[in-house]
Structure 1
Amino acid sequence: MNASTLHATNPFSVMALKQMDRMRQARGKMLDRLGFGPQETPYTVLHTEPGLRLRKYEQAPEEGRAVLLVPAPIKRAYIWDLLPQVSVVRRWMERGYKVYLAEWLPETGPDFGLDEYGNRMLAACRQAIREDSGEQLLTLAGHSLGGVLAAIYGCARPEEVRAVVLLESPLHFRHDLGCFAQMVHATPDARAIAAAYSEVPGAFLNAVSAMAAPHAFQMERMLDRVLSMGNPEAMAVHMRVERWTHDEFPLPGKLFTDVVESLYRHDELMRGKLAIGGREIGPQMLTAPLLAVADPRSTVIPLHSMQAFYEAAGSAGKRMLHYEGDIGVGLQHVGVLVGKSAHEKIWPEIFAWLETVG
């Protein structure tokens, strides 16, 4: 089976995918009942609008610079705050930051695309954070597709950004580079898929991911479970990541189309041709200090996918770190957020670098 076989346009296939979504959500709730739900840090909601809820974490210091965490708009945001010992939210607070998080919500409508997610809604977050904290400049940290959104914002509004931290984020695409780029070049036009589904079901995205990278999204998870069995701490994280994998939600048709066509198929951000806010943007427009974390072993986000953007960025201060993996993370792609070695080695280096760039 390939991705084109998933492109069924009759209502029965749409109903079947939505039923698969409900089944996955039910399995997630069962894992909650078994005690594998996240243990999140208390927060309040600072701003809300269709598709977005801006969290402010209550235990953050009264004084300190502001950071906005930008998750991927595919699964729930709590992967950033899974357990206290592997909570990126807590690491930022421990370093004296006021911590905010853009929590994406599924209630948007099909016409929300990259301009809404990577520009307008992040601008709304920035305005609310400025009113709350008094901070004029904002540090952005994004993972995966969330890192793409953070990079877009940094390119479109460089005067508002203090620094950008990109974690395992796909930023440059060639048909021979990485499993997803290869699959995109072998699939039909995304507009037809978006038209069929309006909002592309999470089960569709999950199935495409599993077919694009079966080792990363299937075999890797099973192997990690086996390797975690003798380590209760690792197993506690693994099972919560497993629960999180069942918490995807549908992508708006426009966002799905923009990602597949503008980013993956035509590489418009890297080429300086991505239309955001009424103008074309590219990496040279990102002038804030830039730190990128890449996994050199990854087939999901190949090193060159991040390296090329990193080298082309207009930032005066740059740093590239390599994440080498962990046991107990389920998916190595999220290891930089939940891995023990990431919290012991990578995050201290990120914070040390941020201190040097101001």
Structure 2
Amino acid sequence: MNAHTFHATNPFNVYALKQMDRMRQARGKMLDRLGYGPQETPYTVLHTEPGLILRKYDQANADAPAVLLVPAPIKKAYIWDLLPQVSVVRRWMEHGYKVYMAEWTPDTGPNYGLEDYGDRLLSACRQAIEEDSGEEQVTVAGHSLGGILAAIFGCTNADAVRAVVLLESPLHFRHDLGCFANLVHTTPDARPIAQAFSEVPGVFLNIVSAMAAPHAFQMERLIDRAMCMGNPEALGTHMRVERWTHDEFPLPGKLFTEVVESLYRHDELMRGKLRVGEREIGPQDLKAPLLTVADPRSAVIPLHSMQAFYDAAASEHKQMLHYEGDIGVNLQHVGVLVGKSAHQRLWPAIFDWLNSVE
């Protein structure tokens, strides 16, 4: 089956996908009852508006620099704070940062797009952070599609950004190689899909992703689970990531259309043609210190999808680190956030670099 034969705009399939979403949410609640829910760090809510809750994590040091964490607007934010031992939130706190996180919420309606998520809402976060902490600049760190939003914010708000950290974030879309070639091939024009759903169900995004990279989204997960047997700690993390995969929410139709058409199909950000407000932006507009983390083995975010943007960015201080994988992460794509070796080796290197440029 592919996206063309599935006919996502067929009324019966629209209904079927929404039913599948409800079934996945029910299975997620069952995994909660089995003890596989997240163990999150306490936080307070600093700011709210449609589409956004800004979390604040307590930090005793009043002079600490601020970091804004930017998850992908597809699933819940707690993948950054899954368990105390593999919590990116806690790593930033331990290294002396005031930590804030943009938690995306599914109450936007269909008309929120890349400009809303990558500029307007993140600008509201930065303003709230400045009022709370006195910090005029923030370090911005994003993962996957959240990294695209962080990059957009870095391009459009240069004076507000101290550094940009992009974790497995697709920024260049070659149509002749890898996962994104498959995505462009299997995904029909996004506009009628967005019109049929208004807000595109998360399960549709799962189907398209699984078709584009079946080994990464299906076989690797089964292999990882098998390799966790006999290792309760690794299995516990694997199952909590499994629970998180059921915590998706619908994507606004406009955002879905712009991601598929402006980014995937036409590569506008890399080409310097992505329109945000009155501007067209690209890597030449990213001038803050830039650190990227790529997985050279990944079919989901191929190395070239980060390398080209990294090379073209105008940042004076740049570094690229490689993530080599873990057991117990379920999806290697989120291993940089929840992998044991990532927290033991990769994150210390990230903070060493930040200390050298800030």
User: How many angstroms apart in 1 are the aligned matches of 2:181 and 2:288?
Assistant: 28
Q: State the 1:59 CA deviation.
A: 4.9
Q: How many pairs align?
A: 358
Paired AA for residue 178 in structure 1? G
User: How many angstroms apart in 2 are the aligned matches of 1:51 and 1:339?
Assistant: 29
Q: State the 1:186 CA deviation.
A: 4.1
Q: Helix, strand or coil for the counterpart of 2:288? A: coil
- Residue matched to 1:328: 328
Matches within 5 A, 1:117-266: 117-266=117-266
Paired AA for residue 341 in structure 2? S
After TM superposition, the score normalised by the length of structure 2 is 0.98
Q: State the 1:7 CA deviation.
A: 3.2
Q: Helix, strand or coil for the counterpart of 1:292? A: strand
Matches within 5 A, 1:1-358: 1-59=1-59, 61-358=61-358
User: How many angstroms apart in 1 are the aligned matches of 2:60 and 2:218?
Assistant: 37
Paired AA for residue 3 in structure 1? A
After TM superposition, the score normalised by the length of structure 1 is 0.98
Q: State the 1:233 CA deviation.
A: 1.0
Gaps of at least 5 residues in structure 1 are: none
Paired AA for residue 146 in structure 2? G
Gaps of at least 5 residues in structure 2 are: none
Paired AA for residue 28 in structure 2? G
Q: State the 1:256 CA deviation.
A: 0.3
Question: 1:278-315, CA deviations, whole angstroms, 9 ceiling, x for partnerless residues?
Answer: 11000011000000000000010000100000000000
Paired AA for residue 70 in structure 1? V
User: How many angstroms apart in 1 are the aligned matches of 2:316 and 2:106?
Assistant: 37
Q: Which moved more, 1:182-191 or 1:226-235?
A: 182-191
User: How many angstroms apart in 1 are the aligned matches of 2:185 and 2:273?
Assistant: 19
Q: State the 1:232 CA deviation.
A: 1.1
User: How many angstroms apart in 2 are the aligned matches of 1:236 and 1:198?
Assistant: 36
- Conservation of the 8 A alpha-carbon contact between 1:39 and 1:82: yes
Q: State the 1:210 CA deviation.
A: 1.1
Question: 1:238-282, CA deviations, whole angstroms, 9 ceiling, x for partnerless residues?
Answer: 010000011111000000000000000000000000001211000
Question: 1:47-81, CA deviations, whole angstroms, 9 ceiling, x for partnerless residues?
Answer: 00001000001356433000000000000000000
- Conservation of the 8 A alpha-carbon contact between 1:172 and 1:309: yes
Q: Which moved more, 1:2-11 or 1:134-143?
A: 2-11
- Conservation of the 8 A alpha-carbon contact between 1:72 and 1:147: yes
User: How many angstroms apart in 1 are the aligned matches of 2:332 and 2:85?
Assistant: 18
Q: State the 1:205 CA deviation.
A: 0.6
Q: Helix, strand or coil for the counterpart of 1:74? A: coil
Percent sequence identity over aligned pairs: 79
Q: Helix, strand or coil for the counterpart of 2:239? A: helix
Q: Tell me the C-alpha RMSD between the 2 structures.
A: 1.0
Q: State the 1:14 CA deviation.
A: 1.5
Q: Helix, strand or coil for the counterpart of 2:20? A: helix
User: How many angstroms apart in 1 are the aligned matches of 2:41 and 2:60?
Assistant: 10
Question: 1:110-153, CA deviations, whole angstroms, 9 ceiling, x for partnerless residues?
Answer: 11000000000000000000000000111000000000000001
